A and B are shown apart, each in its own frame.
Chain A
Amino acid sequence: MSNLEVLKTYKLYIGGAFPRTESGRFYAPVSNQGEVLGNICLSSRKDLRNAVVAARKAQGPWEERSAFNRSQILYRIAELFSDRKEIFLKEFQKQGSSPEEAVLEFSTTLDRIVYYAGWCDKYNQVLSSVNSVNSSHFNFSTCEPMGIVALIAPQNTALIGLVSLILPALAGGNTLVALASETLPISAISFAEVLNDSDVPAGVINILTGKQDEIAPIMASHMDINALISSDLGSIENQIAEACIDNLKRKFTYTEDFNQPESQGLTFIADLQEIKTTWHPIENIGGSTSTY
């Protein structure tokens, strides 16, 4: 019998593995009760580059999975997350939540995962349309995922903010490179362990920890990232918006309080979809001789 306590090392999550940052740097965030949360990897631009390479590799296969299969995989995340309730409650409290707040954040997070799991095979029907056009064309619009989404997690929540933005991107067939909250990073890495044990393929979600001011500008200027989502970035907001221009990156800033049950919806999925419209030549649409 041993009473030795073995502490967990919180590492990055890139391409389905948990490497340390290549830079070898770390920082030690402190909770609002003055407790050091751990030595956390301070990601460098090269870690981000590696994460984007992993995400790009995973993008095609993830997008091509059937919507129903994506739904099953997202639901599987909820199963494993639910299974690890104690771990997350402990971590939320370590990072400064009261026991009641911790339970509330956990249950809201769980509900949110299940909510977006349900949307996977439905959003395309709702967002797509058959369009009336004034020519002999069958004209329809459908959704396609944007590709790689960079996510800068809201700073003020340990997990609910991150999950509320990861899930709609995933449901819509995108892959992600996420930067965890700088001050509350440890639950994000524990969540990565949940993702790794569920059926999410390697590289579909990659989670980094580190400084927002360091990583956000590199995300914004990276030519192979297709969209950037975040909560309000404060003083660097304009700088980030400008850097997004080079490859016409889509940029969305969300100011919702994600602890609220209603801070979810189709719009979070729709923001990360491209609409493809197809003009299919036919004869006499809508007429009595039309085969459509």
Chain B
Amino acid sequence: MLESNQHSIFQTINAASPIDKVGVEERVARFQTRSIKDDAKAQGLKMVLSMIDLTTLEGKDTPGKVKQMCFKAHHLHDLHPNLPQVAAVCVYPSMVAIAKQALKGTSVKIASVATAFPSGQSNLEIKLADVKLAVDSGADEIDMVISRGKFLSGEYNFVFDEIAMIKEACGVARLKVILETGELCTLDNVRKASDIAMYAGADFIKTSTGKIQPAATMQVTYTMLLAIKDYFEATGKMIGMKPAGGISTSKLALHNLVMVNEILGPNWLHNKWFRFGASSLANDVLMQLLKLESGSYQSPNYFTLD
């Protein structure tokens, strides 16, 4: 199936014009100068909360830590009524079953990283088994990493086929493809990897693992959003976007929403199509929301320790 289509797909992928880095920087700078008034800010901040994938991806994760995070996912700040839940929690495959148990009866989704996260340095068999473990344990979403080494050596077919096979293994789970843009070196590569991921079957494209710097810079997210726009115009299919890593302040999150709205439009302003991968963003947003309400600047002392 792939072989007959591949020629035309790769023509499309290679057809994207080169990225003008200086132009991107200027455009991105303009998203950061919008004046957002208090009412809009409060709504925007609540939207940010509803789009967060609350994340813990550490070697030292324990069932206790995961349970605590799951509790937080649907009790963001009990002293403040009318807060949304976060969109999902994001954990390692070994923690999916624990998260599933902890989130029973809530609408919070479970995302699991897989495919030898974060490096992706393993063979296909093991990557598929990793995905199977996560899916069988109850993950609703799979965050896979692409093989950056293969990508950078020009083996685009390999990367494409791998994503397609992982997608097949996901079944009904939605697939987020992590490009790890910090290792792709140029925005042209980011664009190319985005196109490969989308044509290979990604439901979401995601910037980073959070383990490599730089992670979700606005320049990179901008480039990926444009790729999503072009893909939508070519195929009519909506693809989700997930910047992850380095978005820890409300201000930056709001800038990202402004950017999504201006490039993709309001249809993407929903947690079905846009997510933030973050661990410390939620508390900052909560602090800003309470500041708007009370008029006083807040202290981290009165929010959860994650």
Residues of B contacting A45 in the complex (Cβ-Cβ under 8 angstroms): 297
Whether the Cβ atoms of A246 and B296 lie closer than 8 Å is: yes
Closest to B290 in A: A223
A224 touches B300 (CB 8 A): yes
Measured CA separation A218–B296 after assembly (Å) = 7
Tell yes or no: B298 within 8 A of A by CB: yes
- Residue numbers in B under 8 Å from A251 (CB-CB): none
Q: What is the CB-to-nearest-CB distance from A61 to chain B, in angstroms, rounded to a whole number?
A: 17
Q: Min CB distance, A240 to chain B, in Å?
A: 13
Candidate in B297, B298, B300, B301 with the most chain A CB atoms within 10 angstroms:
B297
Q: Which of B276-306 contact A (CB under 8 A)?
A: 295-302
* Number of chain A interface residues as a range: 10 to 19
Contact between chains at B295 and A223 (CB < 8 Å): no
Chain B CB within 8 A of A23 CB: no
**A interface majority secondary structure:** helix
Secondary structure dominating the interface of B = loop
CA distance A223 to B302 in the complex (A): 9
Q: How far is the CA of A49 from the CA of B288 in the complex (A)?
A: 12
Q: How far is the CB of B79 from chain A (nearest CB, A)?
A: 13
Closest residue of chain A to B300, judged by CB? A224
Query: From residue A24, how far is it (CB to closest CB) to chain B in Å?
Result: 15
Closest Cβ of chain B to A163, distance in Å, is 27
Find chain A residues with CB under 8 A from B298 CB.
Answer: 223-224
> Do B295 and A247 touch (CB < 8 A)?
no
Closest CB-CB distance, A17 to chain B, in whole Å?
Answer: 19
Residues of B within 8 A of A139 (CB): none
CB nearest to B302 among chain A residues: A223
Report 25 cross-chain contacts, Cβ distance below 8 Å, ordered by A residue. Answer: A45-B297, A48-B297, A49-B297, A52-B297, A218-B297, A221-B295, A221-B296, A221-B297, A222-B296, A222-B297, A222-B299, A223-B296, A223-B297, A223-B298, A223-B299, A223-B301, A223-B302, A224-B297, A224-B298, A224-B299, A224-B300, A224-B301, A246-B296, A247-B299, A247-B302
Q: A218-B297, A224-B297 are in contact. List 5 more A-B contacts (CB 8 A).
A: A45-B297, A49-B297, A222-B299, A223-B299, A247-B302
